[in-house]
């Protein structure tokens, strides 16, 4: 498989042209010579017809679905997907209404603020477990009618995977778009035991290549089914994107295609086996793991006598940095090409940690927040930061307040009650952005 973007960049560099164009470094520096812009022959990301188009076509063949590049992560793709959903609703004579799992990324909420669509949430029994089920979807339809789209996050930040097959059948039956934030799961396409949302009926799907594939930070994919015209997808991306995409990131997306086409799956299979065996041995020592992902390693440390943050400190002192830690979780992202000796190093450090008395303190219960204003109205209203202890009875202003692993406690326009404050305190949040005042709502003070 060829690498047209990289080939163009190498050819341009080899000719040593006098660069009278941006970027301002003029190609001088350690790696700046490959940092290009939309010069002749380099193509235009949002009107691609040359080297970028050919590279995206290669990626589309790998993922089995038309694929578009983002150099601004899945955040850009999420906003673009939601814009496409809004256009879809308007085209069908309806007001855009998105049904979402509560564990939506903060870019979902910024998109709601920018686009103004209606949002409904599916609440699970626990706010830490946000896997949407077919029964959840059918129950919502029965009580509230048919939404424009169902938006799910799979895998989530702590490794839970939403089974999409049943959801996609219901969505097809009722004409609902199925949108999947697969930011953490680009590598799932290459795991024979798990299936990528592109294979399970998702109409729109994003994946952060940089999270689980060897791609520079910011590299991501938007996968769109054939029901969306290429020009509409590119227009949706350009609406929120910088007009100066990073050609270094584009080159990294291009360069990984041959590896994904041939070689990555075998590396993934080997690493998956090694991680499984490591988890089994650590489980025998008393560690408890959660989540469905084969590589993302999530420890629930309280049964071992530690919080996630205290266990992360131990790893850090031994030269190991985890992805995320809070009182209840330690999240580690294992690269598919990780060396076996590195996994042994991790296992040795964890094995040397003495087991202690179980910590039984659980996260506080969270009541489903009451919505007072729309997300957009709250985002545009005058707001201020207050200490969390002073926020009871106030309305959240910000795009989101995320405390548990990527699960917002309150989002813009929702009333902050005592249970929300208790949860924020538990996760160490000191301040919250709230509306200064709202006409007609007297409890703001």
pLDDT for res 437: 78
Task: Give pLDDT, residue 127.
Answer: 66
406: which residues sit within 8 A by CB, 6+ positions away?
103, 105, 153, 156, 157
User: Quick check: 442 and 414 in contact, CB under 8 A?
Assistant: no
pLDDT at 443: 42
Above 50 in pLDDT, residue 28?
Answer: yes
Give the whole-angstrom CA distance, residue 38 versus residue 21.
Answer: 9
pLDDT for res 440: 52
Lowest mean pLDDT among 6-10, 158-162, 352-356: 158-162
Per-residue pLDDT at 399: 64
- Model pLDDT for residues 247-268, shown as the tens digit of each residue: 999 999 999 999 999 999 999 9
3-state DSSP helix/strand/coil % of the chain, to nearest 5: 40, 15, 45
The answer, yes or no, to whether residue 445 has pLDDT greater than 50, is no
Tokens of 232: 């509409």
Q: Report the CATH number of the 271-352 domain.
A: 3.90.1150.150
Structure token digits, residue 174: 């009722």
Average pLDDT, the chain: 93
Give ∠ CA 189-194-195 in degrees, rounded to 5.
50
* Residue 378: half-sphere exposure toward Cβ, Cα within 13 Å: 25
CATH code that applies to domain 67-250: 3.40.640.10
- Give the pLDDT mean for 181-209: 94
Flag whether pLDDT at 401 surpasses 80: no
pLDDT surpassing 50 at residue 444 = no
Rounded mean pLDDT of 408-415?
Answer: 93
DSSP single-letter state for residue 122: E
Task: Tell me the Cα Rg of the chain.
Answer: 23
pLDDT attached to residue 199: 93
Q: Which residue intervals of the chain bear CATH 3.90.100.10?
A: 375-444
| Residue 180 to residues 90, 353, 408, Cα–Cα distance (Å) | 21, 38, 18
Pairing between strand 400-402 and 324-325?
unpaired
Beta bridge partners of 385: 433
Note the pLDDT of residue 50.
97
DSSP, res 79: H
The arithmetic mean of pLDDT across residues 357-364, rounded, is 94
% of the chain with per-residue pLDDT over 90: 87
Global pTM?
A: 0.94
- The answer to whether the beta carbons of residues 213 and 186 sit under 8 Å apart is yes
> Domain 375-444 class?
alpha beta
pLDDT digits (tens, 9 = 90+) for 125-140: 666 678 899 999 999 9
Residue 408 and residue 354: Cα distance in Å, rounded?
A: 33
User: Sign of the CA dihedral 184, 190, 194, 200?
Assistant: positive
pLDDT per position as a tens digit, 112-124: 999 999 999 998 7
Residues of the chain with CATH 3.90.1150.150: 271-352
Beta-strand relationship, 289-290 and 220-224: unpaired
Residue span(s) of the chain under CATH 3.40.640.10 come to 67-250
Across the range 142-168, mean pLDDT stands at 95
- C-alpha–C-alpha distance, residues 202 and 177, integer Å: 8
**Which pLDDT value is given to residue 193?**
83
Structure tokens at 82: 């939601």
Which of 55, 31, 61, 29 has the alpha carbon at shortest distance from 42?
55
Q: 422 with 384: CB under 8 angstroms?
A: no
* Chain mean position to CA 272: 21
Q: What is the pLDDT of residue 405?
A: 78
């Amino acid at each position: 498989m060829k690498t047209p973007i990289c080939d163009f960049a190498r050819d341009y560099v080899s000719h040593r042209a006098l660069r009278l164009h941006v970027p301002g470094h003029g190609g001088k520096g350690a790696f700046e010579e490959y940092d290009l812009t939309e010069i002749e022959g380099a193509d235009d990301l949002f009107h691609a017809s040359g080297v970028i188009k050919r590279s995206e076509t290669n990626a589309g063949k790998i993922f089995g679905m038309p694929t578009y590049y983002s150099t601004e992560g899945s955040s850009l793709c999420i906003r673009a997907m939601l814009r496409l959903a809004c256009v879809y609703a308007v085209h069908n004579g309806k007001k855009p209404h998105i049904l979402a799992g509560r564990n939506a990324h903060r870019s979902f909420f910024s998109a709601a603020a920018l686009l103004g669509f209606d949002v409904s949430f599916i609440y699970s029994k626990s706010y830490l477990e946000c896997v949407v089920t077919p029964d959840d979807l059918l129950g919502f339809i029965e009580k509230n009618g048919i939404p424009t789209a169902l938006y799910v996050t799979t895998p989530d930040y702590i490794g839970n995977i939403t089974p999409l097959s049943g959801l996609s059948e219901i969505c097809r039956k009722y004409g609902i778009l199925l949108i999947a934030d697969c930011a953490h799961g680009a590598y799932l396409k290459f795991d024979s035991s798990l299936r990528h949302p592109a294979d399970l009926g998702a109409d729109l799907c994003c994946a952060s290549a940089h999270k689980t594939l060897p791609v520079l930070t910011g590299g991501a994919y938007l996968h769109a089914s054939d029901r969306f015209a290429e020009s509409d997808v590119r227009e949706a991306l350009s609406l929120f994107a910088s007009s100066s995409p990073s050609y270094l990131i584009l080159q990294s997306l291009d360069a990984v295609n041959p590896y994904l086409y041939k070689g990555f799956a075998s590396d993934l299979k080997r690493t998956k086996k090694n991680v499984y065996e490591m988890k089994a041995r650590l489980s025998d020592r008393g560690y408890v793991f959660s989540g469905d992902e084969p590589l993302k390693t999530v420890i629930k440390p309280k049964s071992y006598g530690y919080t996630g943050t205290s266990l992360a400190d131990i790893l850090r002192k031994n030269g190991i940095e985890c992805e995320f830690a809070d009182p209840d979780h330690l999240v580690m992202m294992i690269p598919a090409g990780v060396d076996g000796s590195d996994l042994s190093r991790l296992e040795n450090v964890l094995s040397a940690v003495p087991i202690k008395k179980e910590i039984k303190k659980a996260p506080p219960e969270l009541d489903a927040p009451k919505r007072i204003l729309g997300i957009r109205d709250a985002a545009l209203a005058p707001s201020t930061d207050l200490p969390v202890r002073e926020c009871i009875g106030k309305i959240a202003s910000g795009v989101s307040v995320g405390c548990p692993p990527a699960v917002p406690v309150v989002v813009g326009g929702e009333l902050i009650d005592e249970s929300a404050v208790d949860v924020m305190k538990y996760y160490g949040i000191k301040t919250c952005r709230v509306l200064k005042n709202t006409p007609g709502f007297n409890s703001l003070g």
